[in-house]
Amino acid sequence: MQTVNLMTGLVLGMVMLAAGRATAAEQPNIVVILADDLGYGEVGCYGQTVIQTPRLDRMAAEGMRFTHFYAGATVCAPSRSVLMTGQHHGHTRVRGNAGRTNPSAQALLDEDVTVAEVLSAAGYRTALYGKWGLGDVGEAESGLPRRQGFDEFFGYLNQHRAHNHFPDYLWENESKVLLKNVVTPVGEFGGGYATEQVEFADDLFAERALEFVSRDSDQPFFLYWSLVVPHANNERTRATGNGANVPDFGPYADEAWPEQDKGHAAMITRLDHHVGRLLDRLEEKGLAKNTLVLFTSDNGPHNESKHNLERFTPSGPYTGIKRSLTDGGIRVPTIAWWPGKVPAGSESGFAGSFADVMATAADLAGTKAPENTDSLSFVPELTGHADRQPQHDFLYWEFHEGGFRQACLYQGRWKAIRRLGEAVQLFDTDSDIAEKTDVASVHPDVTAAVMAYLDTARWPNPNWEPVAGKR
């Protein structure tokens, strides 16, 4: 199957000619590690006191902790679409979780240009291990990973099947790889849950990631490691009341907590361990000083395992969880690690988002991002030159479930949220990080500016047109 189609290849060729090309020795390796439904407050260096995350905490101590960084969306598929295309939520192809009835609405098309395609054209070898969610076999094959710039793929194509951490099969490129787990197939997509648990998907993805970065090659690499933890198995929750399905409870086995709480905490600590293994491997192979590692989460925390949110305060000081447009649903823990380049123990207040990964990766690779993006390179911020860092006037999100809603962040301070057909709400996040007090009437000039932006922020997309819904 072709990695880049003719049209995309021509576009990328023109980009390369315009930009020139850095030598392999000048191009750092790039690793993006994406957790699934991990909240801002579920990592120790972001204030978590119950769940153990020693390696992520050490990663932050050795690198940069972003405090004002946002996911692409408040749910899975559109957030990943923003990450891959560098286009904000109102411009990117996939704007929501489509379900079974319209799978093509949740697939990238051949004309979409991903960060993997840009880096591949710049001479990188590319791999994706884990959850994809932007294309599938059948009606959505235009979005398959190897048609979107990845040389190799191992993981879940269908995000609903990724609910099951012990699946009966995974995809190796376009071929099924059968696993030893025995699965009860329930739910809309039949992912179900395992009655015999042998192979935990995220453990398999970790091994692939370690093997990939260990290969001898003259090429720089781009690794997109898309974990599935700590996402719940929603189907298992409905069947058993516990969606926090993990091989063991680790350091929480003896806690006097419900199993849902033990499992949720164990998922995050297991994730933490795997991230530490990757950083150690980069050090062992002598690659650390030429590798940027970005760790983040696709959206805010979930409550679908039936675990106790009050025990873990997963949103930290922010309001809302996954599916909220308040910061608890979209502001995410983000850590950058690049020994010798990213200042150790540093903190950044740069108000950026997943869309900025595109321009940042292109900048590092010595090429240019496609022109129709909403992406700013944050290389100056990463390398200790915050005074040279461009800033966004606006960041943008929308949400389609239960009625269309929009949100934006203006000048890194003013957060606006609007439901279709209703007045805009405005929050001053400098003084009200929990977004509790609507100040729209107090700041009419700011309110007018955000309303004008929201009216023009999105491109029409027939699959994702605004529809009113009930509260």
Question: DSSP labels for 113-169?
Answer: --HHHHHHHTT-EEEEEEE--S--SSTTGGG-GGGTT-SEEEEESSTTGGG-SS-SE
Residues 40/318, Cβ–Cβ less than 8 Å:
yes
For residue 15, being part of any structural domain is answered with no
Same domain, 387 and 410: no
My answer on whether 352 and 448 are in the same domain is: no
Could you tell me if 96 and 229 lie in one domain?
yes
- Please state the φ and ψ torsions of residue 355, each to the nearest 5 degrees: -60, -25
> Domain range spanning residue 32?
28-391
Is residue 378 domain-resident? Answer: yes
The answer to whether the beta carbons of residues 320 and 300 sit under 8 Å apart is yes
Tell me which residues of the chain have a pLDDT lower than 50.
1-7, 10, 14-20
Q: List the CATH number of the domain containing 421.
A: 3.30.1120.10
Place of tokens 């922010």: 318
Euclidean distance between CA atoms 255 and 418, whole angstroms: 42
For residue 362, report the phi and psi dihedrals to the nearest 5 degrees: -65, -40
Residue 20 placed within a domain:
no
In a domain, 45, yes or no: yes
CATH number, position 322: 3.40.720.10
Global pTM value = 0.95
> Are 377 and 407 contained in the same domain?
no
> 46 to each of 54, 226, 229, 261, how far by Cα in Å?
12, 21, 18, 19
- Assigned domain for 466 exists: no
Q: Judge if 148 and 62 occupy the same domain.
A: yes
Domain boundary among 391, 411, 442: 391
Is 153 domain-assigned? Answer: yes
* Contact yes or no for 118/404 (Cβ under 8 A): no
Do 160 and 61 belong together in one domain? Answer: yes
Q: What pLDDT sits at residue 469? A: 86
- Is 307 in the same domain as 409? no
Q: How far, in Å, CA of 388 to CA of 393, rounded?
A: 16
Per-residue pLDDT at 22: 61
Is residue 315 domain-shared with residue 174, that is, in the same domain? yes
The confidence score (pLDDT) of residue 1 equals 38
Number of domains in the chain: 2
- Tally Cβ neighbours within 10 Å of residue 420: 13
Q: List Cβ neighbours of 385 (8 Å cut-off, separation of 6 or more).
A: none
Q: What percent of the chain has pLDDT over 90?
A: 91
314 and 430 inside one domain: no
Residue 465 placed within a domain: no
Residue 289 lies in a domain: yes
pLDDT of 315: 98
Q: 435 and 326 in one domain?
A: no
Q: Both 223 and 131 in a single domain? A: yes
Q: What is the pLDDT of residue 139?
A: 85
Q: How far apart are CA 23 and CA 401, in angstroms?
A: 46
